[in-house]
């Protein structure tokens, strides 16, 4: 969690959180209906399998793909890693990220609880699957009427348009390099973390970044949101509190140009884990 807090500070309140599957059009549908989306993170319920404890190389993602298919570099302080292979053993080809925002520091622990029996997928209207990692959901029934099994929420942040993006240009992240990043985080060594991420992201692929369309991180949040939410919600979004200053270390996450960088109503509910 501390690593994402550092990324949030470096991004002026905005950061990306990696997820394994896309949200489809459900995020836009829910945002248009409610005006905003929250990402609610629950703790990982399952134990780590013995085979998963072995240190292995991972993938470090360096770019994202916009709505027109253009490849855009991620901000240089962004660190999104994933396993290099799928559970089936096949090589991972795709990965995604939630576009998150928080005006306050990220801390684990809330007083909110989720009742899974009262959640319905926005896209299908059906209950969530047991192994579903991320989904956009509606909550059916009032809070006082919710009964049955429940579990606590670890973190709640806001999602900003376009809510999630597809990532691109992965490079191999050696197990020792990932361990170095994790060790710096556990030690609370911010300067070491920044140094490591700058070095690792500097090794990113040299694929051509196409086109000259505006970068996701150039556009003000309210401008991107206006394309997805109902007009009545835009005024409310304009009055959200601003995040604290990101320690003069970089520009805002959404202010970095291509040359520099090279929900309840709808709720995205990924599990806390590697991002």
Of 1-5, 85-89, 133-137, 206-210, give the lowest mean pLDDT range: 206-210
Count of structural domains, the chain: 1
Q: Determine phi and psi for 221, rounding to 5 degrees.
A: -50, -40
Within a domain: residue 207? Answer: yes
Mean pLDDT value of segment 96-105: 92
The 10s digit of each residue's pLDDT in 165-204 is 999 999 999 999 999 999 999 999 999 999 999 999 987 5
Within a domain: residue 100? Answer: yes
Triad 65, 68, 69: Cα angle to 5°: 40
Q: Are 31 and 226 in contact (CB under 8 A)?
A: no
Within a domain: residue 262? Answer: yes
Within a domain: residue 167? Answer: yes
Within a domain: residue 204? Answer: yes
Within a domain: residue 220? Answer: yes
Q: Which long-range contacts (CB under 8 A, 24 or more apart) does 228-233 make?
A: 228/28, 228/31, 228/32, 228/161, 228/162, 228/163, 229/31, 229/32, 229/35, 229/36, 229/161, 230/32, 230/33, 230/35, 232/35, 233/34, 233/35, 233/36
The 10s digit of each residue's pLDDT in 47-59 is 555 555 567 889 9
The 10s digit of each residue's pLDDT in 145-167 is 666 677 777 788 888 888 899 99
Whether the predicted pLDDT of 139 surpasses 60: yes
Whether the predicted pLDDT of 218 surpasses 50: yes
Within a domain: residue 229? Answer: yes
Within a domain: residue 273? Answer: no
Q: Are 3 and 181 in contact (CB under 8 A)?
A: yes
> Among the residues of 139-262, which ranges form H helices?
175-186, 190-201, 221-225, 231-238, 258-261
User: Per this entry, what is the length of the chain?
Assistant: 275
Closest CA to 82 of 156, 16, 158, 15: 16
Mean pLDDT value of segment 22-42: 78
Domain assignment of residue 156, given as a range: 2-268
What's the pTM?
Answer: 0.71
The 10s digit of each residue's pLDDT in 166-176 is 999 999 999 99
Could you tell me the pLDDT band of residue 130, with boundaries at 50, 70 and 90? low
What six digits make up the tokens of 6?
């550092």
Mean pLDDT value of segment 236-262: 41
Chain center to CA of 257: 20
């Amino acid at each position: 969690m501390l690593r994402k807090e550092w990324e949030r500070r470096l991004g002026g309140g905005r950061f990306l959180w990696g997820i394994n599957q896309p949200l489809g059009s459900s995020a836009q549908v829910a945002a248009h209906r409610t005006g905003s989306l929250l990402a609610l993170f629950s703790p990982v319920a399952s134990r780590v399998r013995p085979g998963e404890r072995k240190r292995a190389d991972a993938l470090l993602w360096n770019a994202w793909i916009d709505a027109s298919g253009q490849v855009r570099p991620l901000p240089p302080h962004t660190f999104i890693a994933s396993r290099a292979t799928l559970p089936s053993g096949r090589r991972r080809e795709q990965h995604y990220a939630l576009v998150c925002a928080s005006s306050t520091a990220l801390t684990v622990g809330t007083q909110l609880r989720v009742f899974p029996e009262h959640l319905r997928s926005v896209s299908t209207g059906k209950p969530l699957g047991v192994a579903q990692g991320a989904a956009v959901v509606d909550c059916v029934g009032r809070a006082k009427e919710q009964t049955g099994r429940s579990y606590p929420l670890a973190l709640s942040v806001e999602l900003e348009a376009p809510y999630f993006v597809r990532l691109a240009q992965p490079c191999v992240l050696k197990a020792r390099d990932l361990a170095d990043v994790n060790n710096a985080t556990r030690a609370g060594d911010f300067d070491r973390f920044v140094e490591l991420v700058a070095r690792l992201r500097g090794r990113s692929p040299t694929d051509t970044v196409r086109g000259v369309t505006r970068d996701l991180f150039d556009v003000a949040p309210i401008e991107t949101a206006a394309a997805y939410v109902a007009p009545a919600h835009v005024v409310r979004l304009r009055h959200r509190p601003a995040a604290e200053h990101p320690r003069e270390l970089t520009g805002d996450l959404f202010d970095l140009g291509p040359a520099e960088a090279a929900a309840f109503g709808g709720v995205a509910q990924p599990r806390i884990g590697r991002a």
